[in-house]
């Protein structure tokens, strides 16, 4: 499996010539989802879900399909009839040749005065990769590669480290990092690297790794 980091929380996975993209939001590249046979969206926030980026991908490939939760599906199903699938916690499906399981139900708490929205995470190929979206969901099975939401309005570094300790992946790659400046990255790298029981890794947007 080939993993490519896109800007912010968007990633692409490729296997056997087929491509799956997760969370092409408005912080990611305009063509982030183009070329994807399957697109997964964790929740409705604009940095994870952007209709223009979806439209570009869906028009580029008439066979492309989307899997997402109800709050997003309700907004886009009419635009892409028959190509949007609603999924939730406990569901499993196959997309672009990848086996995907859905974990989680709610977005992390931003502030007690802000109502929580729904959020799902996607576990790919029986734990090869887990993308939690905007939550610190712990799947009920081992995770080899965790997409780690390293910096967000809803988390702090102590929670990120404790999340890594609970999931205990073999490796973790930073995502949700558009708000993290280059000046601050060494602080995060040093503290997470020293305290987390996993290889903590980072790719620049466009960088790839074999998993």
| Tens place of pLDDT per residue across the chain (211 aa) | 999 999 999 999 999 999 999 999 999 999 999 999 999 999 999 999 999 999 999 999 999 999 999 999 999 999 999 999 999 999 999 999 999 999 999 999 999 999 999 999 999 999 999 999 999 999 999 999 999 999 999 999 999 999 999 999 999 999 999 999 999 999 999 999 999 999 999 999 999 999 9
Confidence at residue 117, expressed as pLDDT on a 0 to 100 scale: 98
206 has which bridge partners? none
Confidence at residue 185, expressed as pLDDT on a 0 to 100 scale: 93
Confidence at residue 201, expressed as pLDDT on a 0 to 100 scale: 95
Within a domain: residue 208?
Answer: no
Confidence at residue 106, expressed as pLDDT on a 0 to 100 scale: 98
Phi, psi dihedral angles at 146 (to 5 degrees):
-100, 130
Within a domain: residue 204?
Answer: no
Neighbours of 185 (CB within 10 A): 15
Residue in 55, 61, 85, 62 with CA at minimum distance from that of residue 72: 85
Within a domain: residue 205?
Answer: no
Q: How far is Cα 166 from Cα 160, in angstroms, rounded to an integer?
A: 10
Distances (CA, A) of 17 to 35, 82, 177: 11, 24, 28
pTM for the model stands at 0.96
- What are the pLDDT digits (tens) for 177-199? 999 999 999 999 999 999 999 99
Within a domain: residue 97?
Answer: yes
Within a domain: residue 203?
Answer: no
Domain total for the chain?
1
Within a domain: residue 209?
Answer: no
Residue 96: which CATH number?
Answer: 3.60.15.10
Confidence at residue 20, expressed as pLDDT on a 0 to 100 scale: 98
Confidence at residue 130, expressed as pLDDT on a 0 to 100 scale: 98
Full residue range of the structural domain in which residue 6 is found: 2-198
Q: Mean pLDDT of all residues in the chain?
A: 97
Confidence at residue 69, expressed as pLDDT on a 0 to 100 scale: 98
Q: How far is Cα 18 from Cα 15, in angstroms, rounded to an integer?
A: 5
């Amino acid at each position: 499996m080939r993993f490519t980091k896109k800007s912010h929380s968007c990633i692409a996975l490729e296997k056997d010539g087929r491509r799956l993209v997760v969370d092409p939001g408005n912080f990611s590249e305009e063509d982030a989802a183009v070329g994807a046979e399957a697109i997964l969206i964790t929740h409705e926030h604009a940095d994870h879900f952007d209709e223009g980026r979806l439209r570009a991908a869906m028009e580029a490939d008439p066979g492309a399909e989307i899997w997402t939760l109800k709050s997003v599906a309700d907004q886009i199903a009419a635009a892409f009839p028959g190509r949007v699938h609603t999924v939730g916690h406990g569901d499993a499906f196959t997309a672009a040749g990848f086996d995907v399981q859905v974990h989680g139900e709610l977005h992390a708490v931003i502030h007690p005065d802000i109502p929580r929205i729904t959020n799902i995470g996607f576990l790919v190929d029986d734990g090869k990769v887990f993308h939690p979206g905007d939550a610190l969901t712990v799947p009920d099975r081992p995770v080899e590669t965790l997409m780690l939401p390293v910096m967000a309005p809803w988390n702090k570094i102590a929670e990120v480290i404790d999340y890594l300790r609970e999931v205990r992946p073999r490796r973790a790659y930073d995502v949700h990092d558009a708000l993290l400046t280059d000046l601050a990255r060494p602080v995060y790298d040093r503290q997470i690297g020293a305290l987390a029981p996993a290889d903590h890794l980072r790719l620049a947007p466009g960088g790839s790794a074999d998993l």
